[in-house]
Amino acid sequence: MCEAIGQFGAGFELPTMFDLRGRFLVEEYGCSVMTDAWSDKKRRSIINVCTNCAEGTNFVTSKEVSDVSHTSEVIFELVDKAIEDIGEDDVVQVVTDNAFNNMGAKKLLKEKRPHIYWTSCATHTINLMLQGICNLPRFKKVVDQAKAFTIFVYNHTRTLECMRSFTDGKEIVRPGVTRFASVGV
């Protein structure tokens, strides 16, 4: 690489870190398809399928599936349609959480498109690992005490005000809802 840069000569502009880990990588290796199922405030069940391609994350489809079960077949059909729309040759992997129905869809995709990888969402995998660790007897008591402490502090305004004054306004880290496949991949 250094020799090639030297042959180019003075004035060669190095690519940015964004170019190297983003645009160039995606252009070289292709597109990822990500799925995520969730319920909205009206309790409608939604499945999103989006992509991460050279142009950035591009929304592909969102389908309300309140009237059908989130079976492996339903998820496979949505993912397969997204792959068709994008172009099979441009898709490298599908990323989902580790739910049973997604693993069934993985098996169906492997039969139809064996060259496309199915990857478990790293965020979801780490979240499951941490949940498992928190349930180990060695850590469970401490985690339960930390939860109780957090609830106590946030339910008592004077205690909360005192804590914030001693921590320069910093908050206690509180667990929240985590979005998996469609975020942070």
User: Is residue 139 in a domain?
Assistant: no
> pLDDT by residue (tens digit) across 58-112?
666 777 777 777 788 988 988 898 888 888 888 888 888 878 888 999 999 999 9
User: Is residue 128 in a domain?
Assistant: no
Q: What is the pLDDT of residue 151?
A: 92
Q: What is the pLDDT of residue 184?
A: 40
For position 108, which CATH number holds?
A: 3.30.420
Short-list 9, 58, 11, CA closest to 31: 58
User: Domain tally for the chain?
Assistant: 1
DSSP letter at 44? Answer: -
Segments forming the whole domain that contains residue 75: 2-120
What is the pLDDT averaged over residues 143-151?
Answer: 92
Task: Answer with the residue of higher pLDDT: 154 or 49.
Answer: 154
Q: How, if at all, do strands 117-120 and 91-96 pair?
A: parallel
User: Is residue 136 in a domain?
Assistant: no
The whole-angstrom separation of Cα 185 and Cα 52 is 9
